[in-house]
């Protein structure tokens, strides 16, 4: 089921789970009504069904924008991109972003990976910006 007919929600739809649950789906397409203790016990609901989707995060971002929270909307959209990155890789990237943990080349390689492999251009731009800031502040690891 797609979000509202024009693909948007209003601030009045918040919280979505209470006011517009028909818009919410798991990554496998289950509805909130499908997520029950029985379904968990009989294994028709898996861990993957408990993950948020980029579509839900986009709906939340639209609500944030309408309530004049542009930074929150931007964060939600970045999070939506990151749903495509496997958890283990995401943690590796997070650790690579610590000051002194990576060279500029390593950070630029991560940005390319985010953009190319995971279709996460907003996050890739953030990593490139971090690489530039770390370079200016002398926070990069030495090149190998």
Digit-coded pLDDT (tens) for 111-140? 999 999 999 999 999 999 999 999 999 999
- Examine the domain organization and report whether 76 and 98 are in the same domain: no
CATH number at residue 90: 1.10.1510.20
- Examine the domain organization and report whether 42 and 75 are in the same domain: yes
- Note the pLDDT tens digit of each residue in 87-109: 999 999 999 999 999 999 999 99
- Examine the domain organization and report whether 16 and 78 are in the same domain: yes
Question: What's the chain's average pLDDT?
Answer: 93
Residue 106 structure tokens? 């390593």
Distance between CA atoms of residues 17 and 85, nearest Å? 25
Cα-based torsion angle of the residue sequence 124, 126, 131, 135 in order, rounded to the nearest 10 degrees:
160
Placement of tokens 């690891």 in the chain: 141
- Examine the domain organization and report whether 34 and 45 are in the same domain: yes
Residue 124: which domain range?
86-144
Let me know how long the chain is. Answer: 144
**Confidence band for 141, pLDDT divided at 50, 70 and 90:** very high
- Examine the domain organization and report whether 72 and 45 are in the same domain: yes
Return the bridge partners of 31, or none.
Answer: 25
Residue 37 structure tokens? 């203790």
Final residue before a domain boundary, out of 42, 66, 83: 83
pLDDT at 4: 40
- Examine the domain organization and report whether 43 and 25 are in the same domain: yes
- Examine the domain organization and report whether 60 and 93 are in the same domain: no
Instruction: Give the CA distances from residue 111 to residues 2, 29, 53, 70, in Å, rounded to whole numbers and listed in that order.
Output: 31, 30, 22, 24
Distance between CA atoms of residues 49 and 40, nearest Å? 10
- Examine the domain organization and report whether 96 and 45 are in the same domain: no
- Examine the domain organization and report whether 62 and 124 are in the same domain: no
pLDDT at 144: 58
- Examine the domain organization and report whether 64 and 93 are in the same domain: no
- Examine the domain organization and report whether 97 and 143 are in the same domain: yes
- Note the pLDDT tens digit of each residue in 34-65: 999 999 999 999 998 999 999 999 999 999 99
Final residue before a domain boundary, out of 83, 101, 117: 83
pTM summary value = 0.83
**Confidence band for 8, pLDDT divided at 50, 70 and 90:** confident
Say how many CA atoms lie within 13 Å of 39 toward its Cβ. Answer: 13
Domains identified in the chain, total number: 2
- Examine the domain organization and report whether 111 and 69 are in the same domain: no
């Amino acid at each position: 089921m797609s979000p509202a007919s024009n693909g948007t929600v209003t601030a009045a739809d918040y919280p979505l789970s209470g006011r517009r649950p028909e818009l919410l789906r798991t990554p496998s397409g289950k509805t909130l009504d499908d997520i029950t203790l029985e379904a968990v016990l009989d294994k028709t609901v898996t861990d993957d069904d408990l993950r948020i989707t980029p579509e839900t995060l986009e709906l939340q971002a639209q609500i944030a924008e309408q309530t004049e929270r542009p930074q929150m909307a931007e964060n939600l959209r970045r999070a939506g991109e990151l749903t495509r990155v496997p958890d283990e890789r995401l943690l590796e990237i997070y650790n690579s972003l610590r000051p002194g943990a990576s060279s500029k080349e390593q950070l630029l390689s991560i940005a390319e990976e985010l953009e190319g492999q995971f279709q996460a251009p907003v996050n890739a731009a953030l990593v490139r910006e971090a690489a530039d800031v770390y370079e200016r502040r002398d926070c990069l690891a030495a090149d190998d």
